[in-house]
Structure formats: C-alpha cells, structure tokens
Amino acid sequence: MDTNGGVTTTERDLARLLHLLADETGATGEFDRLGEDLAGEGDGELVALTLTRAARIRGLLADRKRREREMQALLDTASDLASVREVDAALDAIVARARRLLGTDAAYMALVDPETGDAYMRVTLGTITRPIESLRQPAGYGVGGWVAQEGRPFATANYLRDDRIRRKHSVASAVAEDGIMSILGVPMRVGAEVIGVLFGANRDERTFAQSEIDLLGSLADHAAIVLENARLFAATKATAEELTVANDQLARHNKALGPRRPTNS
C-alpha cells in the first residue's frame, strides 16, 4: 500500500469519504468513486465496516433531505392555499404539486357523489386521452371506488393485472387507453367522511413507498380542507341570503300594515 508521510492511500480515502459525509455531499460522484476504490483495495474488516456505515449514513442523510423537501412543499402548499380564493385554482395547485413531488406521469382528483357514492373525476393533470378525464367509478370498484368505500390508501404497481381490484370494463379501457399502469390513491376526509380521492399514476410499473403514500395523504388533507371551507362558505352565504330575504319580507309586511294609531284609554 502506498504511503505518504506514514499515511496510507486507504487512510486518506477513508478520511475524504468521511469528510464528504460530514459536508452532506455524499451523493456526489466522488463519494461513489472513493467507495469503489476502497472496496477494491481489500484492506480487511475495517474498510468493509467503514464503507457499510458510510453507506448507511449516506442513506439517512438522503432520507432527511427528502423529508425536509416534502415538509417545505407542504408548508408552501398551505401558504399557497391561504392566498388562493378560487376553489378550482386551489385544487389544481394541489394536483400539480402532487404530480411534481411524487414524480408521476399523471395526478388527478376524484370527488365522491354524496347521493350515489360514485367517485367522479374533478381535476386531471398529465392525462393524454379524453375518456379518463370523465371517469365515474362506483363505490368498491377500481382504485378510486375502493378508497372511497374503505377510507384507506390503495397502491398497485399494475392496475390491469392486480387481482385485488374490481374493474368496470369502461374504466379499465380508459385506463389502458391512457397508458396508465401503476396507481396510488389516498382518501380526502372530512371527519370520518371520505369526500374524495387524490391520485398519482405512472405509465410503467412502480411500487410506491410508504413515505410517498404519507406525502400524498398530507396533500389530500389540504384538498379536503379547501372543499370543506368552500362548503361552509356556501352554506353561510346561503343562510345570509335567506335572512336578507326574510328581513325584506318582514319590512314590506310592516310597511303594508302602516303606522299604528294610538288607542283611547
């Protein structure tokens, strides 16, 4: 082994490797090159142990950075929604952020019809055919219908081959026409009620990680808040209008009666 002032090449490479980790730049090409060089030198158990621990630390740092990005994205979403007045614009923004954060080919949102329980498309992004943009899924069918009925996330790496899914022919045809293969759906809840489903979808097989399911679930929570606030606002506005009408009717009634005449005692 080459030495330089009593320090071996292996020791220098190990020191450099640890420096990269301390700088949180372990994802660089230099880290990979040093790891390959050290593994090839075969200096025994110490090198092997150091490489194993370095790889673990590198993974933990990458996971921390991912969580930080996701948290910032959720904070940004909350900030964005505070400044968005239109419901449609807010829902569009959530679907767009879901697609970007998950890195999926498409993302979309379905709402649950309170009368039938069907899940029907409200927002689509990244879809390329018309049929999928107007899907309506009965409760218990497909990913959306299952999530709406069960109130739990559902992920499939291959929608058309997954034996767990009950498929309507028209829906399966629309999914196939759009090229969608892997789908993740999470519930949008108001209390115990599922009011919609938020989706991420890819045109190749993909196994969604739990962290991705959790992230999409957080965005679904934001969407549910938007819709519930819109419902409450509409209800408050309707009540105010009813009170205005009632007050106008009362005023007209009092005017028709005319002023009261004093009675003789």
Tens of pLDDT, residue by residue over 42-92, are 555 656 666 666 667 666 666 666 666 666 665 566 555 555 557 788 888
- Which value, to the nearest 10 degrees, does the dihedral of the CA atoms of residues 183, 188, 194, 196 take? -60
Are 148 and 119 spatial neighbours (Cβ–Cβ below 8 Å)?
yes
Best CA proximity match to 145, nearest among 189, 106, 190, 111 = 111
Q: Are 152 and 136 in contact (CB under 8 A)?
A: no
Phi/psi at 113 (5° precision): -70, 115
Query: Are the C-beta atoms of residues 134 and 140 closer than 8 Å to each other?
Result: no
pLDDT at res. 1:
45
Pair of tokens at residue 35: 């790891």
User: Can you read off the two tokens belonging to residue 265?
Assistant: 């005692």
3-state secondary structure 37-62: HHHHHCCCHHHHHHHHHHHHHHHHHH
Q: How far apart are CA 127 and CA 203, in angstroms?
A: 10
pTM: 0.63
| β-pair partners for 137 | 119
Give the integer Cα–Cα distance in Å for 132 and 117: 19
Which residues in the chain show pLDDT less than 50?
Answer: 1-3, 6-7, 26-27
DSSP letter string, 202-259: ESS--PPPHHHHHHHHHHHHHHHHHHHHHHHHHHHHHHHHHHHHHHHHHHHHHHHH-P
